[in-house]
Structure 1
Amino acid sequence: MTETVTNQAAWQKAPRQPLRIGVTALPHLAANEILIRNAAIAINPLDWILQDVALLPWLDYPAILGSDVSGEVAAVGGAVERFKVGDRVIGQAVGTTVNQPAQGAFQHHTIVLDHMAAPIPNNMAFADAAVLPLGLGTAASGLYGRTQLALAPPLHSPTARPEVVLVWGGSSSVGCNAIQLAVASGYRCVATASARNAGLLKELGASEVLDHSSPAIVEDVIEAMRGRSLAGTLHATGHMKDCFAVIARCEGSRRVAATLAPPDERPFGVEATHISGTSLKDDEVGPMIYREFLPQALAARTFVPAPPAKVVGQGLEMLQAALEALKAGVSAAKIVVTLP
């Protein structure tokens, strides 16, 4: 079916150039792939970084950037049984990881691995759903990956655990997803964020939110952790040095999974690893999240899209403005472009 689709994309011809709209061919679907007709695309920091600089040595330009899509299934591969044409879904696109433009998000149709997609409820807007994929995938890889924190998996009826997961930078996309996943795994969650975003994070399940702008943030978090044991720490954003200082003085695990490459210099005993937000496509975490956990959790609203979507326009031509808006800075929101 895919060879009959006329597809348009926003191409990144080379670093330091604006996006250009053009036609692109779609290859035949592999047995385990689906084709999504995109209704909404969300923007991540990696997108504007890859526009500015050739960060990924394996990525060829021209490229089609982007990771977060929502829309309707337009076609399915021969081995796909979970989805049918017309299903409403989200998908985590991995085009920049595998160097395949057809699997990038910034286009009308995107090819997605079937275990990196999930159905969404009929009453969930595509713009809201689109905020999930890369933030969710990164948080899940950090919390559950065997080489990361390797925590207990999320459940629909979790049993309370005595340990605490610390999420540093809780109002970011990764942070909002990490809080919800940690709670679904039965852990108590302590997070850092600005005071104005504390209410959002408590709605997502954080038991305590400490103001990251406090000059005493290290002591504040240590006091909140007194008498409790860390299961692990996910550093989404913020001052990594402060995060490490807290971990070094808390009971329990001194492992931290970080969205940015951790520095070599850190307190004795603190172990830090760098999260790859697409590693779950190759291990058990992808199916665990997109097949086993997310569909039911979204339907029951025990897991919600967060942070809230901020729609900046409609059409592929608005993606460049969306990149610039994110680069300029947002807080507790995710930039989204809808498609007609």
Structure 2
Amino acid sequence: MSTTSNQAAWLDGQGKQLRVAEADMPKASEDEVIIRNYAVAVNPVDWKIQDSGMYIKQWPVVLGCDVAGEVYEVGSNVKSFKKGDRVISHATSLLSSDSSQGGFQIYTKGSSKTTAIIPKSTSYAEGSVLPLAVDTAIVGLCSEQPKGLGLPFPSLDAKPCGKTIVVWGGSSSVGALCIQLATAAGVKVVTVASSHNFDLCKRCGATEVFDYKKASVVDDVVGAVKSAGGEFAGVYDAISLQDQSYKYTLPILEKLGGGVLSVVLGPPESVPKNVTPAGVFGISPLTYPVWESYITQALEQGKLLCVPEPLIVGKGLESIQKGLDKNKEGVSAKKVVIEL
């Protein structure tokens, strides 16, 4: 394919299969970058939109939030990037309804504010697991209460801040980033995952990990938070489903005196009086400093891990539908990635 032409995996309507076809070559405005994608990751929101049509105002669309590749063009105001830089970026077509900003194509138009250089030691596939999870984690962790847990931002030289949180779903994409970013803010993290993913959660920085299948999990988590000491800052529920998490996270919060429950999907239908749900969605300027001054250096210094590790299911735009199907089937401590 010519470097001046573009192709995308288009979604033509609710329930349709992705269709690979030509797409307009994006052009960078003053604060944007054009990225030649070499790896894209799949998130549950992608197949959920395919199945339900939620959020979509006009068809066809190009989905995809996580991209990694090489800078092809920079806007007139962009000073932090140049052509040829290896980067990751959070693609935002879901918010903008602009398909040129979707990730599932060869060339994506991205904001320089949510783009970061990755070191040569980080492959494109590894880097692609981070963008959406970074933003989703930071919004829920660092937004001031009651919109989030009100935690400090991550630092390359973290010092204990005297706060403890619970992360439910610590081996999920967002959960693993929550553990890492909270730990990098000096926060103690108690998390819950499958027993076979305990090591992953510990590598991310969790101080205690409990098996969500254990009947005593609620009391175990409450006890661990109390033993950790300091201020309990709330719960980040990276699963956010009634039967899988809310039936546990709400009692945990209630027993610990209440507080904020950060959720990544719709909030629970009913909550105890002392619990405040905080929905986490989209991109916020709140995350810009993390992209600008933390991600690149943290990757270089080994303080930010690209987890869960990529599960590469194919190569080329034609494999993206396979990626959505695989993510829908369910994966554990892996993130579905397609190389381009």
For Structure 1 versus Structure 2, the TM-score category normalised by the shorter chain is over 0.9
Q: 2:264 aligns with which of 253, 259, 263?
A: 259
Give the equivalent residue in structure 2 for 1:165.
Answer: 165
Partner SS, residue 268 of structure 1: coil
Partner SS, residue 250 of structure 2: helix
Map 1:220-231 to 2 at 5 A.
Answer: 220-227=220-227, 228=229, 229-231=231-233
1:48 positional shift: 0.3
| Range 69-78 or range 20-29, more displaced | 20-29
Q: Distance in 2 between matches of 1:84 and 1:34?
A: 9
Give the equivalent residue in structure 1 for 2:179.
Answer: 179
Give the equivalent residue in structure 2 for 1:107.
Answer: 105
Aligned pair in 2 of structure 1 residues 19, 193: CA closer, same or farther (>3 Å)?
A: same
1:231 positional shift: 1.7
Give the equivalent residue in structure 2 for 1:213.
Answer: 213
Q: 1:250 aligns with which of 256, 269, 274?
A: 256
1:10 positional shift: 0.3
1:68 positional shift: 0.3
Partner SS, residue 87 of structure 2: strand
**Pair 1:234-2:236 in alignment:** yes
Q: Distance in 1 between matches of 2:15 and 2:283?
A: 27
Q: Distance in 1 between matches of 2:300 and 2:113?
A: 18
Question: Which one-letter code corresponds to 1:222 in the other structure?
Answer: V
Q: Deviations over 1:309-336 (max 9, x none)?
A: 0001100000011100000010100000
Give the equivalent residue in structure 2 for 1:288.
Answer: 289
1:258 positional shift: 0.5
Post-superposition, which runs of at least 4 consecutive aligned residues in structure 1 deviate over 4 A? none
Q: Deviations over 1:273-312 (max 9, x none)?
A: 1101x232xx2x2212110211111111101111010001
Partner SS, residue 310 of structure 1: strand
Q: Deviations over 1:98-155 (max 9, x none)?
A: 1000000000000100011000001111101100011111111111123322211111
Runs of 5+ unmatched residues, structure 2: none
Does structure 2 conserve the Cα–Cα contact (< 8 Å) formed by 1:59 and 1:96? no
CA RMSD of aligned residues (A): 1.4
Give the equivalent residue in structure 2 for 1:59.
Answer: 57
Question: Which one-letter code corresponds to 2:245 in the other structure?
Answer: H
Q: Tell me how many residue pairs correspond in the alignment.
A: 331
Partner SS, residue 63 of structure 2: coil
Runs of 5+ unmatched residues, structure 1: none
Does structure 2 conserve the Cα–Cα contact (< 8 Å) formed by 1:35 and 1:109? yes
Q: Distance in 2 between matches of 1:287 and 1:130?
A: 18
Question: Which one-letter code corresponds to 2:331 in the other structure?
Answer: V
Give the equivalent residue in structure 1 for 2:339.
Answer: 338
Q: Distance in 1 between matches of 2:35 and 2:283?
A: 21
**Pair 1:33-2:32 in alignment:** yes
Does structure 2 conserve the Cα–Cα contact (< 8 Å) formed by 1:171 and 1:332? yes
Q: Distance in 2 between matches of 1:179 and 1:26?
A: 38
Q: Distance in 2 between matches of 1:145 and 1:116?
A: 17
The two structures have a TM-score, normalised by structure 1, of 0.95
Question: Which one-letter code corresponds to 1:31 in the other structure?
Answer: E
Partner SS, residue 226 of structure 2: coil
Give aligned-pair identity as a percent: 36
Partner SS, residue 225 of structure 1: helix
